[in-house]
Homo-oligomer: A and B are copies of this chain.
């Protein structure tokens, strides 16, 4: 076997680009700029750093995902556009609102539109769609038209409260909206090559740079809802302008310094914040927006989950860009805390509706799970960024878990109905809605589905990594040459993956294949020869060091027998219960598949076989699971509510479907965790 051996410890001071060929910013490749650590900042030698192969270089041709991308483009995006129009969000950019008019623009409206622009840009770039393109152009023109001469851009604070810029950073989402606009602008530029929105975003970012900071006359504040931080890193990466990276770092590091800026701000303003009542209802308001301590000192996930995910993503971005090990260490601590004590088996985070966020350790109620779709999207963002810090299977596993379960559940099969909260049990009264007054989730799901390609591969010097198994191909610039990598797979329904490598000329590099944590016995062949997985596995990836020639094949087989999964015993809501899993998918029982079986009375029979079956006519084609269960009988109880003997049980054949697919048929009860014994 040629050069496929045990993994090497790769310790290199590298931070160069992984992909090129994007539309350039000012004639310079937008990606080369990010190679240089910002001057004057502490950096450390770091392990191999892999940068995502951008969505624009990845073609998704996957039974599972391509269908979802198509639905996203043909249904979700037009649906969302119609909703944005109907609710007045688009028209609001004309800044024509006058006192007394209805509807009154809301201070987070801009972000809903910006996320739609971002998602539409991705969708258009991979699948030309003139109608969508025309709509996108109109929306972009409307946004740009709302920019003030000084670069400021915000509908609400240009119309409803024009005199109140930057006075309620805690509640009013002004920098949050700016962040989403910047992200949209970068995506729009990369997708279309147009600069109009990117230039507007730069003017906005420059305005923000003048307003915020520790210099004389600047506001020493930061956003109550994080987002602008990661957006500024994206803008830096797209433009090469280091001031945006510096601004992101300022926002991240200023957060939580004493005195707490939000208290200073409130005292100076003297009037209630836009969410004063809610904030006063919290025991620890500063924890809600993670400003209770400097971020480098944080170790516990607290507060609003989406805010936290966006902050941690930005922290990881900065650690990646600057090699800041202190920040990286905080990210690792926080990731361990979130995923080890606060994450649903679906990848959902933020268990409580009361604060849309984190509660105490291990507090993961099922029926009342909040697990906001946006928080799942945010966790996917963050886990993906952690993979840039270091390729560890635990990050890839979380990315996969939340993508295939928590994120996908947020959107109906037809793409036009959405969950905001994603419970893991329902008595039948939980259903997706067409839209929300606070419409953050639908376009957030749309942008992650549309840009799925960027989550699949990553590359660095001498290294090409596969994080997700998605059929299609990518073009990767690796050590100066172009390598095409193709995948053939029917993941997540089947665990066989065939990879073909097409370097322009033979090239030695390490191919990293994620070994999913759910798979107990992965098998690996290179050019038909079996590889000892144990020998090449490190930190959840198989490291295949070899001189690769065009057409060489790697076959990864990930057996995915259905399994019972248990939660850590500290999770008291799941005590004595198991969930059904197959591969990356978590399953649930739905009433519609189990007619006449009251789901509240079902338990799993210990040791019973679980049979997986491809059902082409079910939910557009899914693998469903069948297993033997017990149903507690109530027919011999008379009117009694309590008695000194357990309920008698009857056997029942239970059928489970993937969690992401629930609530797409007749309404009814649903349950993920089931007593087992």
Contact = CB atoms under 8 A, between A and B. Distances in A.
A603 B575 contact: yes
A581 to B, nearest CB: 8
A572 interface: yes
Interface in A593-639: 598, 600-601, 603, 632-634, 637, 639
A656 interface: no
A340 interface: yes
A647 B601 contact: no
Interface in A481-513: none
Given A576-B675, A632-B569, A340 B641 contact: yes
Interface string A65-87: 00000000000000000000000
A568 B646 contact: no
Interface in A544-574: 563-572
Contacts of A566: 642-647
B600 A565 contact: no
A640 interface: yes
Interface in A331-367: 336, 339-341, 343, 345, 360
Nearest to A571: B641
Contacts of A578: 646
A206 to B, nearest CB: 43
A325 interface: no
Contacts of A641: 339-341, 343, 345, 567-568, 571
B646 A676 contact: yes
A158 to B, nearest CB: 34
Given A576-B675, A600-B575, A675-B575, A568 B637 contact: yes
B569 A634 contact: yes
A642 B568 contact: yes
A677 interface: yes
Contacts of A598: 569-570
Nearest to A567: B642
B647 A569 contact: yes
Contacts of A600: 569-570, 572, 575
Contacts of A581: 644
A349 to B, nearest CB: 11
Contacts of A336: 639
A184 B336 CA distance: 61
Contact of A632 (B343, B575, B640, B644): B575
Contacts of A576: 576, 603, 675, 677
A501 to B, nearest CB: 32
Nearest to A644: B563
Given A565-B642, A644-B565, A676-B646, A570 B340 contact: no
Contacts of A603: 575-576
A645 B339 CA distance: 18
A566 B643 CA distance: 5
Most chain B Cβ neighbours within 10 Å, of A341, A345, A575, A676 = A575
A288 to B, nearest CB: 20
Contacts of A646: 564, 566, 578, 676
A647 B632 CA distance: 24
A570 B634 contact: yes
A63 to B, nearest CB: 26
Nearest to A649: B569
Contacts of A567: 641-642
Most chain B Cβ neighbours within 10 Å, of A520, A569, A645 = A569
A130 to B, nearest CB: 46
Contacts of A568: 634, 637, 640-643, 647
Contacts of A634: 568-570
Contacts of A340: 639-641
Given A565-B644, A646-B676, A570 B639 contact: no
Interface string A648-677: 000000000000000000000000000111
A441 to B, nearest CB: 24
Interface string A303-340: 00000000000000000000000000000000010011
A518 to B, nearest CB: 8
Interface string A138-176: 000000000000000000000000000000000000000
A319 to B, nearest CB: 20
A566 B644 CA distance: 6
Given A575-B601, A675-B575, A677-B677, A569 B644 contact: no
Contacts of A565: 642-644
A358 to B, nearest CB: 14
Interface in A49-97: none
A567 B632 CA distance: 11
Contacts of A572: 600-601
A647 B675 CA distance: 14
A600 B570 CA distance: 7
Nearest to A335: B639
Contacts of A569: 598, 600-601, 632-634, 637, 647
A275 to B, nearest CB: 19
A223 B628 CA distance: 54
Given A568-B640, A575-B601, 11 more contacts: A340-B641, A360-B427, A518-B644, A565-B642, A565-B644, A566-B642, A566-B643, A568-B637, A570-B598, A571-B641, A646-B676
8 contacts: A339-B639, A518-B644, A566-B646, A568-B647, A569-B598, A569-B632, A569-B634, A570-B598
Identify the 10 closest CB pairs spanning chains A and B, nearest first: A569-B632, A572-B600, A569-B647, A576-B675, A340-B639, A569-B601, A563-B644, A677-B677, A566-B646, A569-B634
